[in-house]
Amino acid sequence: APVFAEARYSARLPENNAAGALVLRVRAGNADWGQNARVRYRLGEGRVRGAPLSSYVSVEAETG
């Protein structure tokens, strides 16, 4: 299974952060070889003030 570089990630950002600005970068590695070593990232289900988490932030699936 993939292993993350940190056990937990958190970030604080300004209220008026620019759209598209980098908020946080996560990193995970996998000891497997080839395609089996590939790690893809995605946001979990969640809501912020009743709106889907994905309406506030996004994640680059290939790079985290």
- Structural domain includes residue 46: yes
Model confidence pLDDT, tens digit, residues 1-52 = 889 999 998 988 888 888 888 888 899 999 999 888 899 999 888 898 999 9
- Structural domain includes residue 4: yes
- Structural domain includes residue 55: yes
Q: By C-alpha distance, which of 42, 46, 45 is closest to 64?
A: 42
Q: Is the pLDDT at 57 greater than 90, yes or no?
A: no
Q: In this structure, which long-range contacts are made by residues 2-8, counting pairs with CB atoms below 8 Å and at least 24 apart in sequence?
A: 2/28, 2/29, 2/30, 2/39, 3/28, 3/29, 3/30, 3/31, 4/28, 5/29
- Structural domain includes residue 17: no
The residue segments making up the domain with residue 58 are 1-8+24-63
- Structural domain includes residue 39: yes
Number of domains in the chain: 1
pTM for this entry: 0.70
- Structural domain includes residue 19: no
Report pLDDT for 56: 85
Report pLDDT for 50: 93
Burial (CB count within 10 angstroms: exposed 0-12, middle 13-18, buried 19+), residue 59: middle
